[in-house]
Amino acid sequence: VVSGSANVEASTRARVQQAIEDTGYKPNINARSLRSRSGQLVGLAVPQIVNEAFAHFIHFAEQEAHRMGYGLVIGNTEDDPEREQKFIDDLLSRNVDAIIFSRVSDASRLPMKARERNLPLVVIDRGIDDEDIPSIELDNVEAGAIVARLFARGGHHRVAMVAGPENVRLARERSAGFTKAAAAAGLTLQEPYVYEGSFEFETGVAAADHFLSLAERPTAVWAQCDLAAVGLMHRFVEHGLTVPDDISVVGMDNVAIARMVYPPLTTVMQPFEEFCSRAFSIIHRQLEDPSYRPEANPVVVRPSMVLRESYRNLN
């Protein structure tokens, strides 16, 4: 009756249902998983939790997992391969049904283990050098390019960029996309107009100080994350400049703070929900057909511009 077999008479079914009600019987998932080899569990690894982007991943993953009737176990890897490994081992020994990994380290042995077990695994927000593993990532080159095109169309001639860490691939891609599209539009992005830092508020503040110190200040700056963009604006305004009259600022991510600051931040939106819904649709299909692979790998999702008041055309 519990497993919904068809071969059971209506009367017995009712009798059993009654007993279930009476005794408050609830199947034990762990015992079940012992036989069925399914822990009714999805694992989600993120490199950070207190960060709106990852909070979105957790939110949507929880939603999808529960919709499918699975529990969600989360692990904070902090980009530490050792923690990553421990979390993976824990998941495996719980018989997880699927894993979503945000930012796996390249050295991870996870892909191998997943293949061994034929465990659905999707990597999001960071490509992985393994063609077999489905991954979902933003078109980071395009993200940079749409900003460069905006600046060029808007008549900006001296533009600047606050880049993420050089050793992070998505930051390199964003930089390359911006630089290349800028060049294509006749804009050059020379040395003092690129400031490299981390994806944090403080980087934006420090970058603002740097740009303020230049004899020829840029008229528009793109920061590769909203927090850094907010840091830029913060220091510019503190310094007496007006955004966007004196200088335009554009961010990236479109987190909640972007619309809350004054002036509201023009930014490049990342479709966080789409990452998760696509990941789950792959997982879903893989659970039904273990040999399924997404047609395109990596699956690339597209960024889009969100125009708000922190940016203004010069022409």
Chain residues in the site for a copy of itself (CB under 8 A)? 26-31, 33-34, 39, 49-52, 55-56, 58-59, 62-63, 66, 71-76, 83, 86, 89-90, 92-95, 201, 227, 230-231, 233-234, 237-238, 256-257, 259-262
Q: Give the single-character DSSP code of 166.
A: T
Count the site residues for DNA by CB under 7 A. Answer: 18
Closer residue to DNA in complex, CB, 36/313: 36
Q: Which one of residues 17, 18, 19, 34 is an interface residue with DNA (CB under 7 A)?
A: 34
Q: Which one of residues 17, 18, 19, 27 is an interface residue with DNA (CB under 7 A)?
A: 27
Closer residue to a copy of itself in complex, CB, 33/281: 33
Q: What three-state secondary structure class fits 2?
A: coil
Amino acid letter for position 3: S
Q: Which one of residues 20, 32, 71, 113 is an interface residue with DNA (CB under 7 A)?
A: 32
Which of DNA, a copy of itself, none is residue 215 near (CB under 5 to 8 Å by kind)? Answer: none
28 lies in the site for DNA, by CB under 7 A: yes
Which of DNA, a copy of itself, none is residue 227 near (CB under 5 to 8 Å by kind)? Answer: a copy of itself
Cα angle: 262, vertex 178, 182; to 5 degrees: 105
Closest CA to 254 of 56, 116, 67: 56
Q: Euclidean distance between the first and final Cα of the chain, in Å?
A: 72
2 lies in the site for DNA, by CB under 7 A: yes
Binding residues (CB under 7 A) for DNA: these are: 2-3, 6-9, 11-13, 25-28, 31-32, 34-36
